[in-house]
Amino acid sequence: MSASEAMSASEAMSASECAPGSGAESVATVLAWPAPAAAQLNPYVALIYGGFACAGLKVRAFRPMLGRAHGDIFHVHWPEAILWGRLANGVPAMTRVAAAHALRTMDRVRARGGIVAWTVHNLAPHALDPSRRAVWEDFFPAFRDRVDLLIGMTARSLDVAVAAYPDLEGRPRAIVPHPHFRTAYPPPGARAEARARFGLPDDAFVLGMLGAVRASKGVPAAVAAFRAARSMNAAADETLLVAGACADEAERRRIGAAGAAGIVFRDAPLPPAQLSAAFGAVDAILINQRTTLNSGTLLLALSMNRPVIAPACGSVGELAAHLGAAWIETFEGELDGEKLRGLLDRLRARARPAVAPLAAFDPPAVSAATAVALADALARRRREPRHFALRRTTHGGTAVANESIAGR
């Protein structure tokens, strides 16, 4: 199922559950960055906002390149979105325009008694060229200064964020888990058909690294570690499948240089239906992104009932403690052959049920919890005494006003 289909399903669910006279009258407007949109491949945003109508929250889209936008709650997921899109790529100066527009919008929302909430997905953009780094380093501290509520997917993820950015210390927090994706993607494809599609042996244990290939994911190092681990136990009959589009030629060469027998690299996009088919081909998922704060890939793998090997960073350790080692094997430090050999042996030896226990990550419950966190923060803000000492600051040559809030 695509993000547009997930959005439609969520809207239908909301409409059916919010019966006439149920009291689901709009009481506040959430300015969402991003809001659900048909063009999104990742259904996460559609799942998060799927139950907001039932909670009396109206969702409007914020677009950093377009016009004035108003709301009671400005809910930001990825502030690095100022760096995204064809316009920002083609005209680098537009990133400064987008950054200034985002800050002005935050100021308008807060000046009218609203709040800015940030669901902390990442600590920093995955990659920055020098010109964009300058914009980001100017924008991001100003962004953090305006955040009234931090939403984390685990308590640990927010501890890591505050350690990285001490200026966030003392901000109100809410913990809302990442939703699973069982209602948003087709189930895994049939094993035999999926393996034939990728040219994989029928009887091997297949470890997968699935999705877009970026330098931050550590794929060449993982391939090298797998090659070494495989050589330590030739009888294990194991294969590594790396499947996903790689836009970086240098990264593609590094993956090829690390390859050997037992490693299959399919450099091609994986739209949702093909991604689900790829999960049907693998027995487990390997993640080697050591800068991960939260991992949608991990939740997707568990949604497909595939166990995961992942670095014990960000939210991963807390999720592993919740779900157990049968579903998440973690490692510290750099992944090497000896370490991966032990992880594979333990993962293969563990018994686990056919279905991962993901009730705590049910999308309607996660959506409702997000709505409650936002509404509660807005109510607290509106009970607080406020003063409006507007100070003028400069962002990229553009003057912006910033409200000072008493007691924050």
What is the pLDDT at residue 223? 94
Q: How many domains does the chain have?
A: 2
What is the pLDDT at residue 84? 83
Q: In terms of domains, do 200 and 323 share one?
A: yes
Query: 320 in a domain, yes or no?
Result: yes
Closest listed residue to residue 311, CA positions, set 212, 177, 217, 233: 217
Would you put residue 244 in left (φ > 0), alpha (ψ -120 to 50) or beta?
A: left
Q: Would you place residue 70 in the very low, low, confident or very high pLDDT band (cuts 50, 70, 90)?
A: confident
Contact 306, 326 (CB under 8 A): no
Q: In terms of domains, do 385 and 297 share one?
A: no
Query: 407 in a domain, yes or no?
Result: no
Task: Provide the edge-to-edge strand list for the sheet that holds 328-331.
Answer: 263-266, 238-243, 205-210, 284-286, 308-311, 328-331
Closest listed residue to residue 251, CA positions, set 267, 269, 230: 267
What is the pLDDT at residue 10? 44
d(CA 317, CA 390): 42
Q: What is the number of other CB atoms lying within 10 angstroms of the CB of residue 54?
A: 21
What is the pLDDT at residue 386? 53
Query: 287 in a domain, yes or no?
Result: yes
What is the pLDDT at residue 87? 60
Q: Is the pLDDT reported for residue 255 higher than 70?
A: yes
176-230 residue pLDDT tens: 999 999 999 999 989 999 999 999 999 999 999 999 998 889 999 999 999 999 9
Q: In terms of domains, do 161 and 276 share one?
A: no
Cβ-proximal residues to 14 (8 Å cutoff; 6+ apart), any chain: 50, 51, 52, 53, 54
Question: Which residues pair with residue 151 across a beta bridge?
Answer: 119, 174
d(CA 69, CA 50): 21
Query: 186 in a domain, yes or no?
Result: no
pTM assigned to the model: 0.86
Query: 185 in a domain, yes or no?
Result: no
- The residue written with tokens 């960000």 in the block is 314
CA distance between the termini of the chain: 42
Q: Is the pLDDT reported for residue 151 higher than 70?
A: yes
- Report in angstroms the alpha-carbon separations of 340 from 2, 23, 123, 346: 33, 54, 27, 10
Question: What number is the average pLDDT over the span 61-86?
Answer: 87
Q: In terms of domains, do 255 and 371 share one?
A: no
What is the pLDDT at residue 305? 98
Q: In terms of domains, do 202 and 338 share one?
A: yes
Q: Is the pLDDT reported for residue 57 higher than 80?
A: yes
Q: Is the pLDDT reported for residue 27 higher than 90?
A: no
Would you put residue 59 in left (φ > 0), alpha (ψ -120 to 50) or beta?
A: beta
Q: In terms of domains, do 118 and 173 share one?
A: yes
What is the pLDDT at residue 4? 44
- Report in angstroms the alpha-carbon separations of 258 from 120, 267, 334: 34, 15, 16
Residue 19 belongs to domain spanning: 3-179+362-402
Q: Is the pLDDT reported for residue 272 higher than 70?
A: yes
- CATH code (residue 229): 3.40.50.2000
Comparing 34-48, 170-184, 315-329, 351-365, which segment has the lowest mean pLDDT? 34-48
d(CA 273, CA 282): 15
What is the pLDDT at residue 88? 64
Average of per-residue pLDDT values in the chain: 86
Q: In terms of domains, do 307 and 381 share one?
A: no
d(CA 317, CA 313): 6
d(CA 159, CA 120): 11
Contact 381, 365 (CB under 8 A): no
Q: Which two tokens stand for residue 325?
A: 């080692």
Query: 126 in a domain, yes or no?
Result: yes
Q: In terms of domains, do 306 and 344 share one?
A: yes
Query: 184 in a domain, yes or no?
Result: no
* Residue that wins the pLDDT comparison between 120 and 4: 120
Question: What number is the average pLDDT over the span 80-106?
Answer: 84
Question: What number is the average pLDDT over the span 242-269?
Answer: 87
Query: 408 in a domain, yes or no?
Result: no
Give start and end residues of each alpha helix (H) in 295-362: 296-303, 316-323, 337-349
Q: Would you place residue 256 in the very low, low, confident or very high pLDDT band (cuts 50, 70, 90)?
A: confident
Q: Is the pLDDT reported for residue 304 higher than 70?
A: yes
Q: In terms of domains, do 11 and 155 share one?
A: yes
Contact 49, 364 (CB under 8 A): no
What is the pLDDT at residue 2? 40
Q: In terms of domains, do 254 and 169 share one?
A: no
Question: What number is the average pLDDT over the span 48-69?
Answer: 89
What is the pLDDT at residue 295? 87
Q: In terms of domains, do 39 and 86 share one?
A: yes
What is the pLDDT at residue 16? 42
Contact 59, 89 (CB under 8 A): no
Q: In terms of domains, do 370 and 262 share one?
A: no
What is the pLDDT at residue 13? 43
Which of helix, strand or coil describes residue 394?
strand
What is the pLDDT at residue 18? 61
What is the pLDDT at residue 89? 66
